[in-house]
Structure 1
Amino acid sequence: MAGVGARSAAVGLASTLSWMLVSSALIIANKRVYSKGFAYPMFVTGVGQLASALGGLLLGWLSGKRSRSLPPLGWLVPTLGPMWGFTFLTMWLGNAAYLHLSVAFIQIFKAMTPAVTLVLAVIAGQERLTLPLLASVTLIALGTGGATFVETGAPSWSALGALFFVGSSFTEAARVVGSQRLMSAHHFTSVETLVYVSLPAAALLIGGSLVSEGTGPLLLLRGVAGALAPIQGELAYAAALSFLVNLTSFWAIGSTGSLTFKVAGCLKNLAVIWYSVAVSREHVSGAQLGGYLVSVAGFMLYTLAKSQPSGRAVAPAAGAEKAKAA
């Protein structure tokens, strides 16, 4: 049993670290696409979801493990439908925020998502609310709130961008909690989750872009090759990263649990902030960094709380063996 626990912990650590690396790279890649004037977040994320679904199908074929047959619509729509909607809203709202806010500030803002995830995980019965757990997540949220308050007076502040990102935080938390339930209650592997969630989400995102973002007329007038020519290299790179981000995120959620997965993202955000300040020369004030350090302190307390028996999840991180096999 100890050996199984150690292997599960190793799988969780490897998958989380992999997700942290590729998701940081994807943030920067998407920002580069937008900086070239292709300001269509639905289309960009839709291409990423399509690449994820196709990559999942290819991975299943190469491994010789076919995904389960398509379930009947009566089961499929109520079970996976919310996941499609949450993924669509998360990708659209989250990427739209990058058109209005700096990369560095968004990473500071992201520290609020563990608090949202905790609430949803408790409601879903995946976490047991304890005082140390509540205190740690509250610290994370307070640090974010302080950084947000400081940013409201900065030139890079946008109320619309903040509204987009708050919305994406709620839908992302719901998506992560739903993914854990999909892999625990319905025994989906990470690859099956990738295929069955990403393909419908891609259709929603690309379809929404054609209608609401005006990419339909753009592609008709210039042709797909002509419209994408200026950013085709960056878009292909971002799509490949999107596949890796989705795969490793489902792998990590199945191995560690939804709340631990979102809290680990706080450390990833610190690396993106450093990159934004050191390489992209974005401005982050001392007060903003101080707020983020409070959030990191909350993360450390969270790690301690989760190491205690009373802070463990009610529904253990499910699907670790299936995720490993996938």
Structure 2
Amino acid sequence: MATQKDVEASIPPYDREHSEHKEDLEVKSKLDDDLDLLPTTQPTAKPQEKKKLSAAVIIPIWIVLSSSVIIYNKYLFSVLDFQYPVFLTTFHLAFATVGTRVLQRTTNLLDGAKEVHLTREMFVRSILPIGVLFSGSLICSNVAYLSLSVSFIQMLKAFNPVAILLISFTFRLQDPSRRLIAIVFMISGGVALASYGELHFELFGFICQAFAVIFESCRLVLIEVLLKGLKMDPLVSLHYYAPVCASINALVIPFTEGLAPFRALYQLGPLVLITNAMVAFSLNVAAVFLISAGGGLVLTLAGVFKDILLITGSVIIFASPITPIQIIGYSIALGGLILFRTTSGKK
């Protein structure tokens, strides 16, 4: 939610000329899983002043924050019975809109925004459509948490790279190879097996998460096509996308949740809502240092380790059952995911 993916991934390989952009997008696709969180546009590790924390320090912090956001959101939906994902997403984005502007005036974390010359044409042609897709991804993903377990949703998110590859193949942004086709079948088979083994399968939640994957995959492909050569780290990207997405989501609330979330705020309390948004925003700050501190393989392995911990935590905290078939299926999907990250672009 917040703010993908979060930071890796979630890929977001074309010809040799565009290999650098592909690499950035792959890293993003995995980090933003999470994203169910907030947007990251082609992260860059160029600004030297941001390299202040070593990978050994920032990776555990990122793992804790990334897992905390998802578990905290699920806690709000399931335990505190605050079942208003669109409102929660909107609040996160509004908080991020204010937070990025405060950081811009008080720190050097958003110095990269000075290199982005945002014109009206760029906003309408690039920022707005990508923001619409991001809003759709956030809303669908968070709605899925109302009926699906955290562990099952994490398993379904392993399908993100497959969706991105299929879109790239369809629009001839990338040529299929035997290796990539084998990876597609490997991940797809693993996710299908994990879905088959889900004890509490809920069709509506599954469809919502499927749409979240489609929206997120389209978003990452559009980032590569529309913003080619324009590098933004997670905070700079958030600086531009948060107000757009917050506005879009605010227009959706009256038609989906109405006044109900505002009435429920009294019972929930402002402290819970604000701390929840702070954790989500902190994840995006951590993502800046994470991308600067680690290479693509390090980020991939960190993301895989985070997913395993998150699934384990879901089983312990929410008593979400997982079956041996799901473990086998998800292991196959993870194997395909790691193979994709480590061999993408190689013939």
Question: Shorter chain as normaliser: what TM range?
Answer: 0.7 to 0.9
Write the distance in 1 (CA, Å) between the matches of 2:294 and 2:226. 14
Note if 1:194 corresponds to 2:238: yes
Larger Rg: 1
Extract unaligned runs of 5+ from structure 1. 312-326
Aligned residues: 296
Change (3 A) 1:246 1:117: farther
* SS of equivalent residue, structure 2 residue 81: coil
Note if 1:94 corresponds to 2:141: yes
- What letter corresponds to residue 32 of structure 1 in structure 2? Y
- What letter corresponds to residue 89 of structure 2 in structure 1? T
Q: Residue in 2 aligned with 1:144?
A: 191
* SS of equivalent residue, structure 1 residue 278: helix
Note if 1:206 corresponds to 2:250: yes
- What letter corresponds to residue 323 of structure 2 in structure 1? S
Per-residue CA shift, 1:182-237, capped at 9, x if unaligned? 6642344443211111111012213312342113x663xx5xxx724424333222
Tell me which of the two structures has the higher relative contact order, counting C-alpha pairs closer than 8 angstroms and 6 or more residues apart.
1
Q: Residue in 2 aligned with 1:107?
A: 154
Q: Residue in 2 aligned with 1:55?
A: 99
Q: Residue in 1 aligned with 2:113?
A: 67
Write the distance in 1 (CA, Å) between the matches of 2:288 and 2:192. 28
Extract unaligned runs of 5+ from structure 2. 1-44
Q: Residue in 1 aligned with 2:72?
A: 29
Write the distance in 2 (CA, Å) between the matches of 1:252 and 1:129. 31
Write the distance in 2 (CA, Å) between the matches of 1:235 and 1:22. 16
Match of 2:313 among 275, 292, 305: 275
Change (3 A) 1:251 1:88: farther
Write the distance in 1 (CA, Å) between the matches of 2:69 and 2:177. 34
Q: Percent identity?
A: 23
Matches within 5 A, 1:4-19: 19=62
Q: What's the RMSD between the two structures over aligned residues?
A: 3.8
Change (3 A) 1:9 1:63: closer
Write the distance in 1 (CA, Å) between the matches of 2:302 and 2:311. 15
Q: TM-score, normalised by structure 2?
A: 0.71
Q: CA deviation at 1:161?
A: 0.6
Q: Residue in 1 aligned with 2:278?
A: 240
Change (3 A) 1:9 1:115: farther
- What letter corresponds to residue 309 of structure 2 in structure 1? A
Per-residue CA shift, 1:42-71, capped at 9, x if unaligned? 000111112222222122212253834873
Change (3 A) 1:228 1:248: farther
Greater helix proportion: 1
